[in-house]
Amino acid sequence: MPDGGALIHARGLTKRFGPLCAVDAIDFDVRKGEAFGFLGPNGAGKSSTMRMIGCVSPVTDGTLRVLGLDPLTDGPAIRGRLGVVPQMDTLDNELTVRENLVIYGRYFGLSRRELRARADDLLEFVQLEERANDPVEPLSGGMKRRLTIARSLVNDPELLLLDEPTTGLDPQARHVVWDRLFRLKQRGVTLVLTTHYMDEAEQLCDRLVIMHQGRIAEEGSPAELIQRLSTREVVELRFAGDTPPVEGVFDGRVARVEELPDRVLLYTDDGDALVPLAHERLGPQSVLVRRSTLEDVFLRLTGRTLVD
C-alpha cells in the first residue's frame, strides 16, 4: 500500500464551505492501534476533518484514504467499519435507550438476535443498564453521551471517531469515558478524537496534531510536544488587583512570558529560582510552580487557551 499501512492517510486534505477554507491542505497519517488526537480552538476545522473521515462530508481537495479505501467511492463500505461519535448527539428520541442500540445495529446489517446480546453488553459497558427501557429524551447530557459512545461500538468498529467525546460531562463521567476508551484502545481499536481538554489529550493520545485556522500547527506525542515547544516548568502568578507591568522584570531568566487576563505565566526550566524575584518585584497574590502541559504548548502556538 502506498500509504504505508496507515488506517487514515491524508495529503493536502482540504474542505471549503464557499469562500471559507475550514480545512486547509493538511497532511497526516493515523496508524493502526494508536490513539490520535486533534486539538484546536473553536473553528479550527476539527469537526470538518472528522466528518470527511467519517464519509459524511465530501472532500473538496486533496487525498484521503480511510481503511485503504476512498470515501468518494467506498463510503458505505468504510462507514460499515467505523464507529462515530459526532460532536452533537444524534440519538433517536422517538426510541428507548435499548432500541437506539438495536436499530443502529440493524443499519449495519446485524441480526436482531445478535443485537439482543450486544445491546446488553454495551449498556453494561457504559453503565446504562438501568435505563435500558427508558426513553432517550429525559436522559442527562452525560448519559446521552455515553449512549452515543455505546451506539458507536455496536458494529465492533476497527476505527472509532470521537468528536469531543467528553465535552459537557462532569469529571466523574469523563473518567468513566476515558476508562472505556482506554480499554477499547487496549483491545486494538484505533481511536481518533478531538478535544479541548489537554488532560484528555495527554491521557489518551499517543500522538496528536494541534490545528489552528484549518492548518496543522504541530504534530507529535504529548511529551514530545511539551519538550519541544515549552519549558520544563511554568510559574503562574496571580494578582489581587491589576497586573503590574512585567516587561523586562525577568529578562534573561525566562524563555518566555505570557500575559493572560487573569494571570501571568513565566516559562523557565527552573521555576523555584524565580519565585523570590517575583515576590520582590511584583508582589503577586499567589505563585504556583508547575510542570508544562499541552495547554502551554497550545497557548504558544495559537495565542489562546484551549478552553475559553
> What span, in angstroms and rounded, lies between the C-alpha atoms of 29 and 85?
20
Verify binding: residue 40, ligand ATP, rule CB under 6 A: yes
Nearer to ligand ATP, 14 or 100 (CB): 14
> What span, in angstroms and rounded, lies between the C-alpha atoms of 168 and 95?
23
Residues 2 to 31: which contact ligand ATP by CB under 6 A?
A: 17, 20, 22
Three cell numbers written together for 62: 486533496
Binds ligand ATP by CB under 6 A, chosen from 48, 148, 231, 293? 48
> Under the rule (CB under 5 A), what is the footprint of Mg ion?
46-47, 87
> What span, in angstroms and rounded, lies between the C-alpha atoms of 298 and 40?
8
In whole angstroms, how close is the CB of 294 to ligand ATP at the nearest point? 16
Verify binding: residue 195, ligand ATP, rule CB under 6 A: no
CA distances (Å), origin 116, targets 83, 113, 137, 151, 244:
19, 5, 22, 13, 64
> What span, in angstroms and rounded, lies between the C-alpha atoms of 20 and 9?
23
| Residue 92 binding target from another protein, Mg ion, ligand ATP, none, CB below 5 to 8 Å by type | another protein
E-assigned strand segments in 222-291: 233-238, 256-259, 264-268, 286-291
Which range of residues in 42-50, 69-77, 183-191, 271-279 is near ligand ATP by CB under 6 A? 42-50
Verify binding: residue 56, ligand ATP, rule CB under 6 A: no
> What span, in angstroms and rounded, lies between the C-alpha atoms of 56 and 99?
24
Nearer to ligand ATP, 6 or 21 (CB): 21
> Under the rule (CB under 8 A), what is the footprint of another protein?
17, 54, 56-58, 74-77, 79-80, 82, 84, 86, 88, 90-95, 99, 102-104, 106-109, 155
Three cell numbers written together for 102: 438495536
In whole angstroms, how close is the CB of 122 to Mg ion at the nearest point? 25
> What span, in angstroms and rounded, lies between the C-alpha atoms of 133 and 193?
30
Nearer to Mg ion, 47 or 231 (CB): 47
Contact between residue 39 and residue 203 where contact means Cβ atoms under 8 Å apart: no
Give contact residues for ligand ATP (rule: CB under 6 A): 17, 20, 22, 40, 42-48, 87
